[in-house]
Structure 1
Amino acid sequence: MSTDPATSNKAAFSRIHDAVNSGDAEVIARTIDEVVEPDFLFHAPVPMGATGAQALKNVWAVLLRAFPDIHVTVEDVIAEGDKVVFRNTVTGTHQGEYRGLSPTGKSVTYNEIFIVRFANSRIAEIWGVVDVFAQLKQLGAIPT
């Protein structure tokens, strides 16, 4: 494996994407423990109810309950220095409670962009922009 930090950082975050697409909460939590700093900072419009690595685990627990078939497709990856940027398309079927909405059975497709900062080859901080408006509109929570 390359010793180039940008390359190893991309690979570390790709492990998270692979875990997420497994649909297995235990695999996701274990991978988070392996590649995310315990006290990492998470800046994103997502339901967390916690801080540090536990916040990321909580987000994925919520998403897996709401969208058991959730799938994240990485569209673009840009890495420089200690940061990696990912632009993703997320799809899923609303089969569980989400943001106060009962399951609708509707499919959603939305976009997100994350800037991930690494320290000591682990994820130390994430800034995220998630198209929550598109999610809620597709679920019928916001009039079209």
Structure 2
Amino acid sequence: MSKTNPNIEIVRGFIKKFWNDGDFECVAEWLTEDYVDHAYVPGNREGLLNMARILHSAFPDQSSTEENIVAEGDRVVVRLRMTGTHQGNFRGTEATNHPIDVRLYREYRILDGKIAEHWALFDTAALLRQIGAELNEQPACRIDKHKID
């Protein structure tokens, strides 16, 4: 009988308690003191909490379901399916009550039983389409040639 990787269990527990249950007070329990977030601004606990509050305000019934999870060394990568209902303002789009169903990836680095770093890749374009938001036609990355010279 194989044992479950303890780092996977840490990530599963954090996703359930923080993202799905909306227990934002649990960060002291799950995150290191010097936690770094590479997905949200600012790149620390504050950025993570800001994004979680935005998502929970716009999609109060949101829930992330694990589709796949892998661990190697101190890293855990999880593919999630987030579902919910658009019941609050999100990026300037008022509540539509449309259902959402989007995929996201999260990578965590675990240190001494706590999450030390986080990266995320979220299909924001799919989410915006599902709530009827206007997508900006401008490229995501523009280079200002005057600053290069």
CA distance in 2, matches of 1:12, 1:112: 18
**In structure 2, what residue type is equivalent to 1:36?**
L
**In structure 1, what residue type is equivalent to 2:32?**
E
Cross-structure match for 2:44? 52
SS of the aligned residue for 2:128 comes to helix
Aligned positions of 1:1-144 closer than 5 A = 7-19=5-17, 20-22=19-21, 24=22, 27=23, 29-44=24-39, 48-142=40-134
- Higher Cα radius of gyration: 2
Normalising to structure 2: TM-score of the pair?
A: 0.81
Q: CA RMSD in A?
A: 2.0
Identity %: 32
The one-character-per-residue Cα deviations of 1:14-46 (angstroms, maximum 9, x if unpaired) are 111211222x4xx2x2222211123322122xx
Aligned partners of 1:38 and 1:52 also within 8 Å: no
- Structure 2 gaps of 5+ residues are 136-149
Runs of at least 4 residues off by over 6 Å: none
Moved more, 29-38 or 107-116: 29-38
Task: Give the aligned length.
Answer: 133
Normalising to structure 1: TM-score of the pair?
A: 0.83
Aligned partners of 1:37 and 1:52 also within 8 Å: no
CA distance in 1, matches of 2:36, 2:89: 26
**In structure 2, what residue type is equivalent to 1:40?**
Y
